[in-house]
A and B are shown apart, each in its own frame.
Chain A
Amino acid sequence: MGERVEPAARALPAEGRRRRRRRPVWPYVFALPTVAAIGLVFGYPLVMVVRDSFYAGSANFLVYVGTANYRNVVADPVFVTSLKNNLKLLATVPVMTVLALAIALFLNSRIRGWRAYRAIVFFPYILPATAIGLAFSYLLQRNGTLNTLLRDVGLGGIAPDWLGSAHVVMFSIGGVIVWQQLGFGVVVFTAALLSLPPEVSEAARIDGARWWQLQRHVLIPQIRRTIEFFVVIEAITVLSWVFNYVYVLTQAGPGFASSVLEYYIWNNGFQNGSIGVASTVAVILLGMASILIAVFFRLRGRQVQA
């Protein structure tokens, strides 16, 4: 294409060439306010966060400490616990994906009232995390509603201190996250299933495919890209959007057993005024989220090509 355009450009009179050279400037001028706004809103804070990660002290008395913050953070058991907890929460992604997919496939069978069921399943997703956290902090007390119910039906042996025990607390938080995020998956998968051309399923049925075979070999492969999208989005969510749950349910307790990286950043940055440490962990978290975002874009690129 370029080779064909170039001779034509050469043939233009001198005035025309000047006009042609000037023309490309304007798009950049028009884009400048947006670029400047993005630079101010995202670029500047990003640069400052990276810069602050090399400093210690309070905001108005910063002292350059080189990479000491990175070394100290990595050596801090609370940071390690927080990182591990974020990774543990990643385990909720396959759980919510499988559950959401199963429910979506079930609803896709057009059972009576499937739209109402979909709305019911989606309902927790629109509730604020704070309200959910408060409700569950009461439900999950050692002598709360859930354990009272379990004891009443003779299952007192499996009624632990859901939020007060360091061994159980991450399961409890993970369970609450799955409960809320499930609705999003169901809606996304249902929408994807509804958009599929019915001919393929009908052909499979005529060929004698049973219900499970239809789901497993016909429907699920067709919404694979949507599933991948959901997995990446949820992985980013549980990595960097779980602060609300942790703050309201446990405040990272007992004894930092349920701390996550976001809480670690908030605690150091806002409670302790340790800007340097908070910035250091923010940089680390940004790196981790960037990897997931890169995976997401790669998958999306494949989707576009397909």
Chain B
Amino acid sequence: MSKLVVRSLLLVSAVALVVTAAAFARSTSKADDPHSGDITYWYWAESDAPGANAWMKAAIARYQKLYPKVHIKLVPQATDTLIGAFRTAAQTRSGPDIATQWATLPTLTPAWIGASVAISDYVPKSELAHWIGTAENQSFGKVWAMPIYLLGVPFVWNKALFKQAGLNPNAPPATWAQLLTACAKLKAKGITPIGMGNKDGYTGAWFFSLVGKQNLNSIDELKQAMLGKQDFAQPKFSGFYTAFADLKKRGCFNDDIASLDLNQGWQLFPQGKAAMAWTTDGNALAWEKTLGAAKIGVGHTPVWGHGKLAHTYDTTQSSDAFITSWAKNKEAAAAFLVWLHTPANLLSWYKATGVFPADTRFSPSNIKDPIAKQLFKLDTTGPAVWPENFLPPQVDGNADLPAGEMITSGSGTPKQAVDLWLRVIKQWKQQHPDEYAKYAKWASG
């Protein structure tokens, strides 16, 4: 009886050992093999680059054909829950293996709480050297996310409507005074000067990035204001709300700006109902097709401020891709992301979306359209900064967006908008002492 028990135990132990060894061997081979494993990819880009979802789906199909042991599940994400959904995933340490976030703080904040791994640990330096905009996601000596595309935010104008209002169609307003003059002339002809939508707060947030930065000499000043070491109430930081309110007061915006979201407000420009707008490269090119290349002009935002950043352009990688800390196949995820940057994929991305890839291996000779050439030049010539990237997500969502809404809806004054910022910056410090400490360390370089 006892022999039988001993034999049984030995048999069970042997089987368990074999099963464990097999499982270990399997998991080891999977983890070490960059071309094997299951990957869940939470993806967002469609709003920035129409056609992006279809392109990514096709790219995944090509990759899976190339590496049949890799299975990638694409999960498109919504704009208004992009940050919140990943926050929840980070709390539960489950969900995507590759995630998408907007650049800088929305990407670095989860990295600081250990929700992601540095992509520079998985990608060779020679590859990283080709990626444009990696500085936006750099923290503590490492790069945390992969840029996919470049997003420029040009100021666009309708040359035909300019001509109709007696303005020079080839000389867009370069200064704030010229912008106000153009507004007055267009209004006098019954033309809506600037067509935008701010029900979702994005026009206000863009105004902060496009105009609000113009009194700063460097983005470090903004970081100091977030840390409470400089006063955001100073006109240097928040004086742009006066200019924003002034545009609203003068009737420079469409009268329904407060009840249309950004995408809805944008439709006024290609419909020929508004003479000016701020938009993305992708939209500018789409509008060129609607209006005709001869009718659309693209350029810099008129200069309002006197800081060094007043003459910087407005390019960002917008969204990026990073590998989560709980991903089981990090090597495989990294290999896929690197593959997206192969020259053939960069070109197919550009052809599918019209948006420029964030990679030096993309040849400008592929750009044939004259407006696209201008946009590419704007995006890649000279310094560019998008200050919204440097706001803690809580400050962006609870101050930047609603403060602009207060102005466009007429429910708040510039001072009330600034008070909201100050309150939210304080709340962020109180509610996220961990995030604040990391931000301070990061800001100190």
**Interface positions of A (Cβ within 8 A of B):** 56-61, 63, 68, 72, 76-78, 140-144, 161-167, 250-257, 267-268, 270-274, 276-277
- A256–B91 Cα distance when bound, in Å, is 26
Q: Which of B84, B409, B430, B432 contacts A271 (CB 8 A)?
A: B84
Chain B residues whose CB sits within 8 angstroms of the CB of A273 once the complex forms: 87, 91, 394, 432
Chain B residues whose CB sits within 8 angstroms of the CB of A267 once the complex forms: 397-398
- A164–B409 Cα distance when bound, in Å, is 6
| CB of B259 closer than 8 Å to a CB of A | yes
- 4 extra interchain contacts, Cβ-Cβ under 8 A, other than A58-B91, A254-B406, A270-B81? A77-B423, A166-B411, A253-B200, A255-B420
- A57–B113 Cα distance when bound, in Å, is 11
Assess the B256–A142 pair: CB atoms within 8 A: yes
Assess the B431–A164 pair: CB atoms within 8 A: no
Assess the A272–B256 pair: CB atoms within 8 A: no
Known: A58-B113, A274-B431. A255 touches B256 (CB 8 A): no
Assess the B433–A57 pair: CB atoms within 8 A: yes
Map CB proximity to A onto B409-445 as digits: 1 under 8 Å, 0 otherwise: 1111000000010010001001111110000000000
- A270–B257 Cα distance when bound, in Å, is 28
Which chain B residue lies CB-closest to A165?
Answer: B409
Chain A residues whose CB sits within 8 angstroms of the CB of B96 once the complex forms: none
Q: Shortest distance in angstroms between B90's beta carbon and chain A's nearest beta carbon?
A: 8
| CB of B320 closer than 8 Å to a CB of A | no
Chain B residues whose CB sits within 8 angstroms of the CB of A270 once the complex forms: 81, 84-85, 87-88
Chain A residues whose CB sits within 8 angstroms of the CB of B85 once the complex forms: 270
Assess the A255–B431 pair: CB atoms within 8 A: no
Find residues 286-309 in chain B having any chain A CB closer than 8 Å to their own CB: none
Assess the B434–A161 pair: CB atoms within 8 A: no
- A257–B407 Cα distance when bound, in Å, is 12
Q: Shortest distance in angstroms between A118's beta carbon and chain B's nearest beta carbon?
A: 34
Q: Which of A140, A255, A268, A272 contacts B402 (CB 8 A)?
A: A255
Assess the B432–A58 pair: CB atoms within 8 A: yes
- A4–B51 Cα distance when bound, in Å, is 83
Known: A58-B434, A77-B423, A255-B403. A141 touches B259 (CB 8 A): yes
Q: Which of A57, A60, A161 contacts B409 (CB 8 A)?
A: A161
| CB of B258 closer than 8 Å to a CB of A | yes
| CB of B383 closer than 8 Å to a CB of A | no
- A292–B54 Cα distance when bound, in Å, is 50
| CB of B201 closer than 8 Å to a CB of A | yes
- A154–B338 Cα distance when bound, in Å, is 62
Most B CB atoms within 10 A — which of A58, A161, A257, A270?
A: A58
Q: Shortest distance in angstroms between A290's beta carbon and chain B's nearest beta carbon?
A: 26
Number of B residues contacting the other chain (C-beta, 8 Å)?
42
- A222–B405 Cα distance when bound, in Å, is 50
Q: Which of B114, B410, B430, B434 contacts A68 (CB 8 A)?
A: B430
Q: Shortest distance in angstroms between B302's beta carbon and chain A's nearest beta carbon?
A: 25
- A251–B91 Cα distance when bound, in Å, is 24
Map CB proximity to A onto B380-414 as digits: 1 under 8 Å, 0 otherwise: 00000000000001100110001101101111100
- A274–B83 Cα distance when bound, in Å, is 13
| CB of B199 closer than 8 Å to a CB of A | yes
| CB of B371 closer than 8 Å to a CB of A | no
Known: A161-B258, A164-B199, A253-B405. A63 touches B433 (CB 8 A): yes
Assess the A276–B258 pair: CB atoms within 8 A: no
Map CB proximity to A onto B195-211 as digits: 1 under 8 Å, 0 otherwise: 00001110000000000
Assess the B423–A254 pair: CB atoms within 8 A: no
Assess the A253–B394 pair: CB atoms within 8 A: no
- A60–B84 Cα distance when bound, in Å, is 16
Chain A residues whose CB sits within 8 angstroms of the CB of B255 once the complex forms: 142-143
Chain B residues whose CB sits within 8 angstroms of the CB of A57 once the complex forms: 431-434
Chain B residues whose CB sits within 8 angstroms of the CB of A68 once the complex forms: 430
| CB of B260 closer than 8 Å to a CB of A | yes
Cross-chain pairs A/B with CB under 8 angstroms, 24 sampled = A56-B430, A56-B432, A57-B432, A61-B434, A72-B430, A141-B259, A141-B260, A142-B255, A142-B258, A143-B256, A164-B259, A165-B409, A165-B410, A250-B199, A252-B402, A254-B408, A254-B411, A255-B402, A255-B406, A255-B411, A257-B409, A270-B85, A271-B394, A273-B87
Q: Shortest distance in angstroms between B78's beta carbon and chain A's nearest beta carbon?
A: 12
- A77–B419 Cα distance when bound, in Å, is 11
Q: Which of A60, A144, A167, A255 contacts B259 (CB 8 A)?
A: A144
- A164–B258 Cα distance when bound, in Å, is 5
- A276–B411 Cα distance when bound, in Å, is 30
Assess the A272–B393 pair: CB atoms within 8 A: yes
- A59–B113 Cα distance when bound, in Å, is 10
Q: Shortest distance in angstroms between A61's beta carbon and chain B's nearest beta carbon?
A: 4
Assess the A76–B409 pair: CB atoms within 8 A: no
- A141–B268 Cα distance when bound, in Å, is 14
- A256–B397 Cα distance when bound, in Å, is 11
- A162–B409 Cα distance when bound, in Å, is 11
Chain A residues whose CB sits within 8 angstroms of the CB of B199 once the complex forms: 163-164, 250-251, 253-254
Which chain B residue lies CB-closest to A166?
Answer: B411
- A251–B79 Cα distance when bound, in Å, is 13
Which chain A residue lies CB-closest to B83?
Answer: A271
Find residues 76-103 in chain B having any chain A CB closer than 8 Å to their own CB: 80-81, 83-85, 87-88, 90-91
Assess the A255–B409 pair: CB atoms within 8 A: yes
- A141–B435 Cα distance when bound, in Å, is 39
Chain A residues whose CB sits within 8 angstroms of the CB of B113 once the complex forms: 58, 60-61
Most B CB atoms within 10 A — which of A142, A253, A270, A271?
A: A253
Which chain A residue lies CB-closest to B260?
Answer: A141
Which chain A residue lies CB-closest to B82?
Answer: A271
- A272–B83 Cα distance when bound, in Å, is 8
Chain A residues whose CB sits within 8 angstroms of the CB of B201 once the complex forms: 251, 253
Chain B residues whose CB sits within 8 angstroms of the CB of A272 once the complex forms: 393-394, 397-398, 431
